[in-house]
Amino acid sequence: MNRYDFIYLFDAHDANPNGDPDAGNLPRVDTETGHGLVTDVCLKRKIRNFVQLTKPESQDQDGPGYDIYVREKAVLNHQHDRAYKALGLDPKKAKQPEVEKTRDWMCKNFFDIRTFGAVMSTEVNCGQVRGPVQLSFSRSIDPVVTSEFSVTRCAVTTEKEAEKQSGDNRTMGRKFTVPYALYRAHGFINPFLAAQTGFSDGDRELLFTALENAFQFDQSAARPAGSMAPRGLLIFEHSSPLGNAPSHALFDAVKVIKKPDVDTPRAFSDYDIVIDESALPAGVTLIRRI
C-alpha cells in the first residue's frame, strides 16, 4: 500500500454536530476565533457505527474480521479475553510473545483496531497498536453562532413533579444548533503502520465508503434527517509508500472560499472549492470521491 492523504468536507444545517458535555452540550467552538469544531473521536464513532451496521462481526478464519472494539457499553477487557480464549492462552501467565499473538489476533478481528489503533495494555494485556489512519479535528470554514431554543415536553417523569405543577405536567428543556457551518477535516493513511496492523486495500475502501455515508444512519434529535451531509472527499494518492509531497503542501492546494456576494453562509452552494492542480507534483493523483 502507498501513502494517502485526504480532505473531508461536511456541513451542518440547524443541527448540533458535536455537543460538548462540559458545556451543557453546546456545539464545540474555538473560543478565540469562533470557528466550530468537531473532534476526531466524533468522526471515528460514525465510521465505527457504519461498519458495525454494514459488515458482519466476523469472517472465516482466512479473512479479516469486522467486529468493532470500541462500541456502546462494551467492556474492553472482555474483548481482550476473547483473544486469549481463541488462542488457548492464559492471560495471567502471558509474557511478551503471548501478548504479541493476542495483539495480532485483535488486529485481525477488529476493524477499528487495525484502522485507528488501540491501547490494550490493561488488566488483560493485549499490547498496544498504532493505527495507520489518523483524523484531525474538523474546523468550520467561517465562525459560527450557536442558536439556543427552549423546548417543552408535555409530560413529567415522576408523580411528585406532577403534584408540584397541579397536573399541568410540563417539562422545560433547551436545544442548541448551528444554523449553518461547513467543516473541513484532514486525514492520513500511513502505509508502514498499515503493514503492521494488516490494514488492507479493502479496509481503505471501507473507510472511504464509511465517510461517504457517515451521516446517513446517524440521525437523532440533535441531527435530524438531512441536517448533516458529506460535501467533499478529496483523496491524494501517492505513488510510493514514502509519498511524493508533504501533506501540508497538498492540503494547501485546496481552498474553500466563501463567494464574494455571500455575507452569511447558509448553504454549501455559498462556497467555491478551488483546487490548484498545478501544485500537485508528479506521483500524486487527486481522486474526487464526492
Kindly report, residue by residue over 104-138, the tens digit of the pLDDT. Answer: 999 999 999 999 999 999 999 999 999 999 999 99
Residues 169 and 187 in one domain: no
Written as one letter, the residue type at 91 is P
Of the pLDDT bands very low, low, confident and very high (cuts 50, 70, 90), residue 290 is: confident
What pLDDT is recorded for position 60? 47
Based on the fold, state whether residues 248 and 280 are members of the same structural domain: yes
Strand pairing category for 26-27 and 35-38? unpaired
For 22, the domain range is: 4-142+177-288
246's grid cell: 508533504
Answer yes or no: do 40 and 51 share one domain: yes
The answer to whether 224 touches 175, Cβ cutoff 8 Å, is no
Same domain (yes/no): 158, 268? no
User: What pLDDT sits at residue 61?
Assistant: 53
pLDDT (mean) for 239-246: 97
**Structural domains counted in the chain:** 2
Distance CA 98, CA 141 (A): 48
Residue 43 predicted with pLDDT over 60: yes
156-189 in b/e burial notation, b at 16+ Cβ within 10 A? beeeeeeeeeeeeeeeeeeebbbebbbbbbbbbb
Secondary-structure breakdown of the chain: helix, strand, coil percentages, each rounded to the nearest 5: 30, 35, 35
> Quick one: average pLDDT of 281-288?
97
Q: Mark whether 36 and 159 lie in a shared domain.
A: no
Q: Averaged over 217-230, what is the pLDDT?
A: 90
DSSP state of 166: T
Assess contact for 185 and 41: CB atoms under 8 A: no
Does residue 150 have a pLDDT over 90? no
pLDDT, tens digit, for every residue of 60-112? 455 679 999 999 889 999 999 999 999 999 999 999 999 999 999 999 999 99
Examine the domain organization and report whether 162 and 236 are in the same domain.
no
Same domain flag for 225 and 103: yes
How many CA atoms lie less than 13 Å away from 243 in the CB half-sphere? 17
Nearest to 112 by CA among 151, 71, 165, 62: 71
For residue 58, name the pLDDT band (cuts at 50, 70, 90): low
Looking at the structure, do residues 100 and 160 belong to the same domain, yes or no? no
Task: Looking at the structure, tell me whether residues 203 and 153 fall in a common domain.
Answer: no
